[in-house]
Structure 1
Amino acid sequence: MKTLKRTIIGVASLAVLFTACNDFEEINKDPNAVDESAIKVSYLLNKSVMGAQQNPHIAERIFVYQWKSAARFERRSGLATGANYNDYNTDYFGVDYGVGWLNNVNMAVKIGTERAANPEYPYENNLLQMSRIWRAYVISELADNFGPVPPENAFDGIVEYKSVGDIYDFIISELKDAAGKIDVNVDMSTIASEKTDAFYDGDVSKWIKFANSLRLRYAMRLSAVDQAKAKAAFEDAASTNNFITTQDEIAQVQEKGGWTDLDGVMSRPWNAQPISVTINNMMIGLGGIDFQVPEAIKAEVSLKDARTYLGLRLEKHLPVSTNDPAAGYFFDALPSKIDPRATKLFHIPGYDDGTVYFSNIGLADKARLADPATGNVEENGKAYLELNVKYTWNTWVAGKWDKYSALTSELTGASKTYPSLSKIYRESTNKRVWFGPWETEFLLAEAALYGWNVQGSAKSHYEAGIAASFEYHGVSEFLNDYLNSTEYNRVGTSVAFDHTAEAKSYMAEYVDGYTGEKKTVTYTYPKNSIYKNGTVNNDKLTKIISQKYLAQVPWLPLEAWSDHRRLGLPFFENQAVEIDYNVSSNELPLTRANCRECKWEFYQERLRYPANMEINSKDSYMKAVELLGGADLISTPLWWAKH
């Protein structure tokens, strides 16, 4: 009953926003005495949705520090090096956050089900089905992070953990059943006027699309572990031909400023959120589109072909203990060709355009490197080596840099030197995207590639996914040339769907950063050994998942991480290993000897359960670990990600 009371208290607090003063006074006389009959299902559902938006406290600790790190959506060590943030996980797996969101929507389903036989209002059935759809998402979020969780709560004091396999069976079935029971002819104007449907303002036809698109997502999640089941579930969902396919159907929730659940999920000003090496290597050269240099700085900008020229070689300052194919270089210009979404997502260092640039980052100008012999950036007023960072485009792997960190603090330790996340995602004026039309299209493309029964070809859905992403970012004018491009990015992938020739090593130029001497080196594309033994970088599935990944930036890092755990795509480089990682402290088993290899064990698979769970709920903990099928470590794959 304690959990039930706490849930009701939360709902009572939310209800204050929508009720008259006399109701507020009645609730506050004895909040524990709030009767279930006084609770509106719409408030419970809305409270769960609002919570899952993630207030600044939990958003920073889960969305930014963990999901974005795991998905390589920004340059950060964190999960990318094997870190375990127990305090953050404890918050997330608690009643104030993840478990609370699930409790609220479980209560919505419970009360909605009880009222279904004799509803007071005609729209109550639709609210129940909307709650079931949203509950399926919340369950999946927790399960995709931790593994086995209790998906349902009857509020009878019994908590039953279920395996990830059973959870997926449940949510796929729930989504189908709930979508099928929505009545689009029912008047939902009351819900619209209450403002308790943050996604679609009472438009239940779009909730059906959301449910069917989620069915595609979760069915495809099973493809690596049980393709027969995945195929059957996917084809069943695909047969509806009723998904999120347009911009006005996006499942998204409006952000608002202030320290509330609706504050922007990436809004903390001290989080620089610089471009990652993964994204940078994928975007440079991809699509063959010219870098769109703003007119205001054209006279000052230098453009260089990043395929034939790698930049200044600075091996005394930049680590090469990684399988990043462009490690060790400072690119002293802007790349002449880049995916046109890049400058919508990240600012040009040193340039304040008023739209993308975020003032907390600062404007880049110069950066001095320290003398490796003395550690000083200057001797007798003369800089050891000064770089012009303004209007350049660089990032480097995170990880363990050892001595290099101090030697490059003005360059790699300063947020302003990196292209960093656009202001439009930071100021709580955007809408947080939960499911976009591009994801529907890329899921259908993947299914078609496997030969599953879906309408349309793999190529048509692949190109439609890119088109949807381009439309979202406002760069559709480049679409046709982009789709036909056979130019490779830094990891050997091109855009044109039928262009599957593998990129070959070639001679590239660079400049010795210490002597100024021009030199050449063989540029070798990375070997993604966890996918098809590293034999391909440009096959059709790599193209589909690469474009899906880029389209999900920056809103859906959890989905991008899940795709990588499922398929090993796209290619994720290792973080720097200037010092061997400490496996005894649960860090990834990266060493100086293996840092250029690509192995499954070099990637995090999940979040660990809170440490206090083993003490305070030992039976539940032991059951959860048993169902997990391995130790409670970040390296233990989830059921659907068995390799």
Structure 2
Amino acid sequence: MRNTLYISAIFALLLNMVGCTSNFDSENTDPYGVTEEQAAIDFVNIGGYLTTMQKYIYNVTTGLQTEQNLTGDAFAQYMVPPTPFQSNRNNVTYNFVWYSQQWDITYSNEMSNLSLIVNKYNVDTEYPNFYAWGQVLKIFAMQRVTDNYGPIIYSDYGAESAPYSYDSQKDVYYAFFDELDAAIDTLTTYADAGSTAFEKFDAAYGGDVAEWVKAANSLRLRLAMRLANVDPTKAQEEAEAAISQEYGVMETNDDNFMVDLGSSVHPLWYFSDSWSDCRMCATVESIMGGYSDPRLPMYFETATDGDLADGTYKGIRQGIAIDSKSTYVDFSGISSTITGSTTAQIMTAAEVSFLRAEGSLRGWSMGDLSAEEYYNQGIQQSFEQYGLSSYSTYEDDETSTFADYVDPKNSDNSFSASSDITIKWDASESNERNLERIITQKWIALFPDGQEAWSEFRRTGYPKLLPVVVNYSSGKISTDEFVRRTPYPDAEYTSDAEGVAGGVTLLGGVDTGGTRVWWDTGTGTNF
């Protein structure tokens, strides 16, 4: 499988591990250099690859723009560009022009890195703790790929030559669960023993293996919930296994999976501050503005447009006609709280609490709290993540709803509030209505990870987003049903035509953004 995809990344990493030299082979034989045997003493020969894997789950480079910011972030209606890329015919208006980066970057930095250290160092048998850790990291990343595309190359990865067979999304998810089960067992053994082997390479938890067990269990819970509508028995089984495991799931913000960026700048700084290509979506203004949500200033800056009053938060509706970048560029950019962060968010305790709230609502064994209590706990944890303490007033608000939106530049883009859902839990209402509360608050708490928020919107239909005004998909994507997936990269059709044809067959529809993935049932109800 395409070894050339990762040669450059691996080569750069090897240089860092063995010293600054342009000749890796001579360095390995240099008596004054670091030999393989010496590197193995402190796991340097394998650990660096896992550091890289952490940093490409949520791509910490500017490649994130086409990998996620102009796909998942836009489709979740978190952030949209004021820039009319490609004469305004781009992903945001349903004319896909960026759809390969999630595939290419993740395979070349996740699947290939783990495969390399298995093949070169027998890490699966010689270093079972590192292999288990690598499996968890791989699944965190590949979950995003299959959720984007549907069927993917997974069990056949590493085959010598094409065709590379695709697995159905169901088979991929079931493989995830099996691999997590084994990895969690292995990591638990090392956590019980107080292992510190990961310490030099861990950009999230400083080598605390117990925290990695919690992260793996939390991931298992996330994956389980994704199956709630399409495979409910399996979903409940895996969710309850995650909760009941010895180390449990993320419980506090100290457990959050946040990757240290080191000396790097958060990629969203480039898109928003440096390039001015990313602004708040109008849907955020409607939802968080309508709720007078104290997290809004944590996420976005006030607008600087001269037509707006001072202190105004103003977003751009997704999928509109934009003639010039100057029209909307002075609407709200991303807050320095986000762009100046030294960490990249992968998963948080707040998300886990909302997952447990939904599980409890479905009658699953999620712990000692009720659905309402987990829901309120999720709000509290999200507030506390940003140093806010006013969550009790917020969660008791039973009157605030989404707000109407007015586009001061073009009234054709204005809209009425898409939902009247309130914040305060209401036990007298239906499960469907309270699920809308859970997912709406989860959508707020997941920011800035639009990839996960978009997946949850596709699964549940919440929060109630706004259809695009301009749809350039030529009928491939329904305006009313929204974009459902990302098409396969063009390179797959030239390098693995037989394999991708099998993937499309497994998808069960045409390879467009309008075809639903396996867990996206499209039934319109969640109970």
TM bracket, shorter-chain basis? 0.7 to 0.9
Kindly state the Cα deviation for residue 110 of structure 1 after the two structures are TM-superposed. 5.0
Kindly state the Cα deviation for residue 226 of structure 1 after the two structures are TM-superposed. 1.2
Structure 1 residue aligned with 2:410: none
The reply to whether residue 343 of structure 1 matches residue 297 of structure 2 is yes
Q: 1:472 to 1:132 in 2, by over 3 A?
A: same
Q: 1:27 to 1:497 in 2, by over 3 A?
A: farther
**Cα contact 2:301–2:313 (8 A) shared by 1:** no
Structure 2 residue aligned with 1:157: 160
The code of the aligned residue for 1:641 comes to D
1:394 is aligned, of 302, 314, 325, to: 314
Can you list the C-alpha shifts for 1:348-367, whole angstroms capped at 9, x where unaligned? 23xxxxxxxxxxxxx43x33
Give, in whole Å, the separation in 1 of the partners of 2:167 and 2:186: 26
Structure 1 residue aligned with 2:112: 103
Structure 2 residue aligned with 1:184: 191
Give, in whole Å, the separation in 2 of the partners of 1:450 and 1:620: 38
Structure 2 residue aligned with 1:372: none
The code of the aligned residue for 1:549 comes to W
1:65 is aligned, of 57, 61, 70, to: 70
Structure 2 residue aligned with 1:43: 48
**Cα contact 2:70–2:92 (8 A) shared by 1:** no
Give, in whole Å, the separation in 2 of the partners of 1:281 and 1:239: 38
Describe the SS at the equivalent of 2:398: coil
The reply to whether residue 426 of structure 1 matches residue 425 of structure 2 is no
Can you list the C-alpha shifts for 1:256-302, whole angstroms capped at 9, x where unaligned? 455xxx7534533224532222222211342xxxxxxxxxxxxxxxx
Kindly state the Cα deviation for residue 75 of structure 1 after the two structures are TM-superposed. 3.5
Within a 5 Å distance, the mapping from 1:250-269 to structure 2 comes to 250-257=256-263, 263-268=266-271, 269=274
**Cα contact 1:243–1:440 (8 A) shared by 2:** yes
Q: 1:145 to 1:271 in 2, by over 3 A?
A: farther
The code of the aligned residue for 1:399 comes to G
Can you list the C-alpha shifts for 1:289-340, whole angstroms capped at 9, x where unaligned? xxxxxxxxxxxxxxxxxxxxxxxxxxxxxxxxxxxxxxxxxxxxxxxxx111
Give, in whole Å, the separation in 2 of the partners of 1:27 and 1:137: 36
Kindly state the Cα deviation for residue 557 of structure 1 after the two structures are TM-superposed. 0.9
The reply to whether residue 557 of structure 1 matches residue 450 of structure 2 is yes
Can you list the C-alpha shifts for 1:188-243, whole angstroms capped at 9, x where unaligned? 44532xx3121222111011000000000000000111112211111122222611
The reply to whether residue 17 of structure 1 matches residue 22 of structure 2 is no
Kindly state the Cα deviation for residue 64 of structure 1 after the two structures are TM-superposed. 1.2
The code of the aligned residue for 1:101 comes to E
**Cα contact 2:57–2:137 (8 A) shared by 1:** no
Structure 2 residue aligned with 1:74: 79
Can you list the C-alpha shifts for 1:390-428, whole angstroms capped at 9, x where unaligned? 3334334243448xx58xx87xx1322x2321023224x
The code of the aligned residue for 1:82 comes to Y
Task: Give the alignment's Cα RMSD to 1 decimal.
Answer: 3.0
Describe the SS at the equivalent of 2:344: strand
1:489 is aligned, of 401, 425, 429, to: 401
The reply to whether residue 623 of structure 1 matches residue 502 of structure 2 is yes
Structure 1 residue aligned with 2:414: none
Q: 1:282 to 1:228 in 2, by over 3 A?
A: same
**Cα contact 2:77–2:283 (8 A) shared by 1:** yes
The reply to whether residue 274 of structure 1 matches residue 279 of structure 2 is yes
**Cα contact 2:357–2:438 (8 A) shared by 1:** yes
Q: 1:619 to 1:2 in 2, by over 3 A?
A: closer
Structure 2 residue aligned with 1:632: 511
1:608 is aligned, of 473, 487, 490, to: 487
Give, in whole Å, the separation in 1 of the partners of 2:68 and 2:5: 25
Give, in whole Å, the separation in 2 of the partners of 1:449 and 1:484: 19
Within a 5 Å distance, the mapping from 1:477-626 to structure 2 comes to 478-490=390-402, 491-498=419-426, 539-554=433-448, 556-577=449-470, 581-584=471-474, 586=476, 588-590=477-479, 599-600=480-481, 603-626=482-505
The reply to whether residue 641 of structure 1 matches residue 486 of structure 2 is no
Q: 1:619 to 1:28 in 2, by over 3 A?
A: farther
**Cα contact 1:75–1:398 (8 A) shared by 2:** yes
Structure 2 residue aligned with 1:143: 146
How much identity, in percent, do the aligned residues show? 24
Describe the SS at the equivalent of 1:69: helix
Structure 2 residue aligned with 1:474: 387
**Cα contact 1:257–1:263 (8 A) shared by 2:** no
Describe the SS at the equivalent of 1:253: strand
Q: 1:472 to 1:629 in 2, by over 3 A?
A: same
Q: 1:179 to 1:438 in 2, by over 3 A?
A: same
Give, in whole Å, the separation in 1 of the partners of 2:401 and 2:358: 21
**Cα contact 1:106–1:135 (8 A) shared by 2:** no
Within a 5 Å distance, the mapping from 1:295-310 to structure 2 comes to none
Give, in whole Å, the separation in 2 of the partners of 1:396 and 1:154: 41
Q: 1:224 to 1:25 in 2, by over 3 A?
A: closer
The code of the aligned residue for 1:458 comes to A
Q: 1:638 to 1:400 in 2, by over 3 A?
A: same
Q: What residue ranges of structure 2 are gaps of 5+ in the alignment?
A: 30-34, 82-87, 403-418, 523-527
Structure 2 residue aligned with 1:222: 227
Give, in whole Å, the separation in 1 of the partners of 2:443 and 2:378: 11
The code of the aligned residue for 1:341 comes to R
The code of the aligned residue for 2:254 comes to D
Within a 5 Å distance, the mapping from 1:195-210 to structure 2 comes to 195-210=200-215
Kindly state the Cα deviation for residue 108 of structure 1 after the two structures are TM-superposed. 3.5
1:245 is aligned, of 240, 251, 254, to: 251
The reply to whether residue 454 of structure 1 matches residue 366 of structure 2 is yes
Structure 2 residue aligned with 1:414: 328
2:59 is aligned, of 44, 54, 60, to: 54
Can you list the C-alpha shifts for 1:172-199, whole angstroms capped at 9, x where unaligned? 121122111111144644532xx31212
The reply to whether residue 84 of structure 1 matches residue 90 of structure 2 is no
Q: 1:497 to 1:15 in 2, by over 3 A?
A: same
**Cα contact 1:483–1:495 (8 A) shared by 2:** yes
Structure 2 residue aligned with 1:297: none
Describe the SS at the equivalent of 1:16: helix
Q: 1:615 to 1:22 in 2, by over 3 A?
A: closer
**Cα contact 2:173–2:223 (8 A) shared by 1:** yes
The code of the aligned residue for 1:264 comes to P
Give, in whole Å, the separation in 1 of the partners of 2:18 and 2:195: 19
Kindly state the Cα deviation for residue 73 of structure 1 after the two structures are TM-superposed. 0.6
Can you list the C-alpha shifts for 1:22-55, whole angstroms capped at 9, x where unaligned? 896535689xxx9999882322222222344425
Give, in whole Å, the separation in 1 of the partners of 2:150 and 2:289: 36
Count the aligned residue pairs.
482
Q: 1:273 to 1:589 in 2, by over 3 A?
A: same
Structure of greater Rg:
1
Structure 1 residue aligned with 2:412: none
Kindly state the Cα deviation for residue 20 of structure 1 after the two structures are TM-superposed. 4.4
Describe the SS at the equivalent of 1:202: coil
Give, in whole Å, the separation in 2 of the partners of 1:551 and 1:452: 23
Give, in whole Å, the separation in 2 of the partners of 1:43 and 1:257: 16
Q: 1:7 to 1:216 in 2, by over 3 A?
A: same
Q: 1:538 to 1:133 in 2, by over 3 A?
A: closer
Kindly state the Cα deviation for residue 6 of structure 1 after the two structures are TM-superposed. 6.5
**Cα contact 1:348–1:419 (8 A) shared by 2:** yes
**Normalised TM-score (structure 1):** 0.69
